[in-house]
Amino acid sequence: MSGNQQGVFMSVKSIDMIWISVKDFDAAIKFYTEVVGLKLMEKNEEWGWAELQGENGARFGIGKTCEHTQSGTETNAIVCFNVEDLDQSMAEMKGKGAVCVGDVCEVPGHVKMQLFRDLDGHLFHVVQKLHACC
């Protein structure tokens, strides 16, 4: 496959987030801030979600395992591909045989996302940001 395939319409805007699911939310935040040295950028107790970052670059997300994460702690980091329009991207990907895992999850005012499984079983998210600050 070449990088300039004909007929590919979905355009990934950026890769800004990689995240993991954890059982102990607060212990994971403590580990990644105190041991790894990342800075806590935001924390949402209601959604069991935190974003950390080094000096620059992509954010590292920590999601408490629950109905919204749609993946367990046995998976490795989840790459998030940001797109302009999630619904359009999903339709195109499904039309090409992509397999969705679970339903679209929306964090109101923040993101809308769909989990997918690749050919080898790896999970990834396709994400539409819902406001400019993210």
Residue boundaries of the structural domains of the chain? 14-129
Distance CA 114, CA 90 (A): 8
Fold of 14-129: 2,3-Dihydroxybiphenyl 1,2-Dioxygenase; domain 1 (3.10.180)
Judge contact between 8 and 93, C-beta under 8 A: no
DSSP 111: E
Distance CA 31, CA 38 (A): 9
Distance CA 2, CA 16 (A): 24
Q: pTM of the entire structure?
A: 0.63
pLDDT in tens, the chain (134 residues): 445 555 557 788 888 888 888 888 999 899 888 877 889 999 999 889 999 998 888 898 988 876 655 555 566 678 888 889 999 999 988 888 888 999 999 989 889 999 988 766 778 888 999 975 54
